[in-house]
Amino acid sequence: MGDKLVIVESPAKAKTIQKYLGKGYRVVASMGHVRDLPKNGLAIDVEHDFAPEYEVTKQKVVSELRQAIKQADEVYLATDPDREGEAIAWHITQAAGIPRKKPVHRVVFQEITRPAVQAAIANPRTINGHLVDAQQARRVLDRLVGYRLSPLLWDKVKRGLSAGRVQSVAVRLLAEREDDIEAFQAVEYWTIEVDLRKEETNGTRNGKEQTNIFRAVLVERGGQKLDKFAIANQEQAQAIVDDLDNATYRVHSITRKDRRRSPAPPFTTSTLQQEAGRKLGFSAKKTMKLAQDLYEGVDIGGSEGTVGLITYMRTDSTSVSQEAQQEARRVISERYGDEYLPEKPPVYKARARVPRKRTRPSARPA
């Protein structure tokens, strides 16, 4: 009796999943896509419903998969849980020529942990044709736009330029934004600020006397509120500063408010890349490479060995599994106490996409 064959995309992932499934299962890697459009020629039949003409790109891998499938009783396609992974699963069935009588299952998991992998194997489904079609449509559009528009750019603009389904739209957005910047009319305005210090000191720190200094901004003059452009030039600003020369200041009133700040929602693909770029200076490519490694598994030592440390990172969803929430609540309770534990786990909703009206920023002298 043969093993149950599980096909994933990468060797690192295969190693981790093999450990979770144990005997009776054999986990192998497809090394990503096994078929694609040939590099030469359009390879799209535009006269017959834009049918793509694929070729096997990894002959050795496909031969090894065929042999492994032949020896297995059942096949589990465990490629990534997105449209690209769904298409890879479908391409494997087409390239490897799996016999019709052999059971083929599609399994997906959002995290590479023992419970998630075992639950996915226990609850397989069929390949989602809609996701496969979505991926094929993307690939066909890439080819049509790139192969049809690039030569036009070479002829009309400059040799060596390229066009793309995403690239060309992004270039247009950049061009339109540059037009906005060129058309921008700067408006001068000034603000009046003063640094104030309490008369009494606030003790010493590291042998140095500490003082309380805070910044105040002029928002009203002569009983009238000052809007953003009220002080239009340096002469007006200097006149106000001269009036305030040798002035005394006092605190008229203090308002205290309690503010509640909710934790940020879990990362999506875009927010992960933005935060990694802003705080760590990572490129999007580096961020996704590191995230892929964390998803596929890292050897954390001890008895656990290689463990997937994050959920699947290519997503727009902010939902969190109940298992992960309960584990987080247990850790918070044990380490920090119940006073830091919310009454119930937070639920995050997807952001509604509302068109934003463009506003032009105003210039301020440095």
Q: In degrees rounded to 5, what are phi and psi of residue 80?
A: -55, 150
Burial 32-53 (b: 16+ CB within 10 A, else e): bbbbbbeeeebbbeeeeeeebe
The answer to whether 98 and 69 are in contact (CB under 8 A) is yes
Which tokens sit at 95?
């390239």
Catalytic option among 20, 249, 312, 340: 312
Q: Which of 297, 282, 287, 285 is nearest to 267 (CA)?
A: 287
DSSP 338: G
SS3 of residue 55 by DSSP: strand
SS3 of residue 196 by DSSP: strand
**Alpha carbon of residue 110 to chain centroid:** 15
The answer to whether 44 and 140 are in contact (CB under 8 A) is yes
d(CA 311, CA 291): 9
Place of tokens 């060309």: 168
SS3 of residue 26 by DSSP: strand
Q: In degrees rounded to 5, what are phi and psi of residue 205?
A: -145, 125
Q: Let me know if 312 is a catalytic residue.
A: yes
The answer to whether 74 and 10 are in contact (CB under 8 A) is no
SS3 of residue 157 by DSSP: coil
Residues annotated catalytic, as ranges:
312
